[in-house]
């Protein structure tokens, strides 16, 4: 299957070579970002392939899971069985002109293969930026343990603050820890590359799911540092701001983020509840936060005669942040989604566009997610030729 598109490999990261040894989500999400912005990403998979190739249904017409497709475009895919010495030698050949290597093997795996960063890669390839994604890091009480998004959501405290009031802890519906770790890995790699411009040396970037999960706990940890109180689950509400919650309307659900007293006055004017502005229970955000149980039903009663999408538009144009709560089909059908180029289409492939919009060096979409080993011959032939020339 030919995945090549007629788009040249331009972008902010054009000329950057990335050797991607990752699987599942955090690492592939990172390398897709790099690939979207021009990097030459070589995805190395074992003979059985990345596990997510089969994480379906749904699958495309070639049997490839949508889960894999969502994080693996703009990559050349090859197969190497790194348990074999010859494959490890080929990996070293690929690293000779690589800028970045990213991996998420179990701690100690590279060392077992004689490819540890400190002992081997750092000395042999001093300009290489090495990034390792792990569950909990290589050392410490949990060092070396495998990490999975939902389990890390549980142990780092994210699930404890997510759920309905009085309900059980809930996993956040998207794999937020994996995605955040991919983002942090991208940031770390770019930081290391920027520093390499000054020093001429690479370094290792350490991104653990546990650390990244904890970093997402704002403002809950900030509040806890201040007051020492365990937060309670409050559903869609905000722990510090009121009204900042979902509300039923006459048709559909509305979410409002009323961040200051001026916006609260505007809200009350739009929905015909001007008397609430002078009610001593609701004059300031602090008052409203303490008395949210009394305020929210009054707001919801006023919204009963409105339709969510229409009142959201009125509120926004009046200076009150609000939005209807939409399903995925509605999101994809919105003209603004197309305007922001957030849907990528290459043949029968569709994916989410890059949210990073650079004014001169735009993201490009050049390759569909590769079939298993699709570019093995092409990539390895090039590496072998370069080794012979040197």
User: Hunting for tokens 């197309």 — which residue is that?
Assistant: 338
Rounded CA separation 22/182 (Å): 11
- Phi and psi torsions of 18, nearest 5°: -120, 125
Angle between helices 292-303 and 261-271 (to 10 degrees): 40
- Helix (H) / strand (E) element for 180: namely helix 176-199
Contact yes or no for 320/258 (Cβ under 8 A):
yes
Contact yes or no for 11/36 (Cβ under 8 A):
yes
Nearest CA to 192 out of 137, 127, 133 is that of 127
The CA-to-CA distance between both ends of the chain, in Å, stands at 33
> What are the structure tokens assigned to 291, written together?
């008395």
**Cα torsion at 26, 28, 31, 35 (round to 10°)?**
-140
Catalytic residue among 178, 206, 279, 287: 178
Rounded CA separation 30/74 (Å): 12
Rounded CA separation 270/323 (Å): 15
Rounded CA separation 307/304 (Å): 8
Nearest CA to 204 out of 305, 121, 260 is that of 121
The yes-or-no answer on residue 20 being catalytic is no
- Helix (H) / strand (E) element for 321: namely none
Contact yes or no for 46/81 (Cβ under 8 A):
yes
The residues near 157 (Cβ < 8 Å, ≥ 6 apart) are 213, 214, 217, 220, 221
> What are the structure tokens assigned to 270, written together?
């739009």
Active site residues: 178
């Amino acid at each position: 299957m030919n995945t090549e598109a007629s788009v040249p490999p331009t972008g902010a990261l054009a000329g950057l070579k990335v050797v991607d040894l990752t699987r599942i989500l955090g690492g592939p999400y990172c390398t897709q970002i790099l690939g979207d912005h021009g990097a030459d990403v070589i995805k190395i998979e074992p003979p059985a392939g990345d596990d997510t190739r089969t994480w379906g249904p749904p699958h495309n017409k070639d049997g490839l899971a949508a889960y894999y497709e969502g994080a693996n475009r703009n990559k050349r895919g090859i197969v190497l069985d790194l348990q074999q010495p010859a494959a490890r030698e080929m990996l070293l050949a690929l690293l000779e002109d690589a800028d970045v290597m990213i991996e998420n093997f179990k701690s100690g795996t590279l060392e077992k293969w004689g490819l540890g960063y400190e002992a081997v890669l750092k000395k042999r390839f001093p300009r290489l930026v090495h990034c390792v994604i792990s569950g909990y890091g290589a050392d410490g009480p949990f060092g070396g343990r495998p990490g999975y998004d939902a389990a890390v959501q549980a142990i780092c405290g994210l699930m404890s603050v997510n759920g309905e009031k009085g309900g059980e802890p809930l996993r956040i519906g998207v794999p937020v820890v994996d995605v955040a770790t991919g983002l942090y890995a991208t940031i770390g790699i770019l930081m290391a590359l920027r520093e390499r411009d000054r020093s001429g040396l690479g370094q290792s970037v350490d991104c653990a799911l546990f650390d990244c999960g904890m970093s997402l706990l704002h403002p809950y940890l900030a509040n806890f540092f201040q007051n020492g109180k365990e937060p309670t689950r409050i559903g869609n509400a905000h722990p510090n701001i009121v009204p900042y919650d979902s509300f039923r309307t006459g048709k559909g659900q509305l979410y409002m983020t009323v961040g200051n007293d001026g916006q609260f006055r505007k809200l009350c004017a739009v929905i015909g509840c001007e008397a609430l502005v002078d009610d001593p229970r609701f004059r300031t955000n602090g008052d409203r936060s303490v008395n949210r149980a009394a305020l929210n039903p009054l707001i919801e009663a006023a919204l009963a005669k409105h339709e969510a999408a229409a009142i959201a538009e009125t509120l926004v144009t009046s200076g009150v942040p609000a939005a209807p709560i939409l399903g995925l089909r509605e999101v994809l059908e919105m003209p603004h989604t197309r305007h922001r180029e957030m849907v990528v289409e290459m043949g029968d492939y569709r994916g989410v566009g890059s949210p990073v919009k650079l004014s001169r060096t735009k993201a490009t979409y050049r390759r569909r997610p590769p079939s298993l080993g699709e570019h093995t011959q092409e990539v390895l032939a090039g590496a072998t030729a370069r080794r012979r020339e040197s």
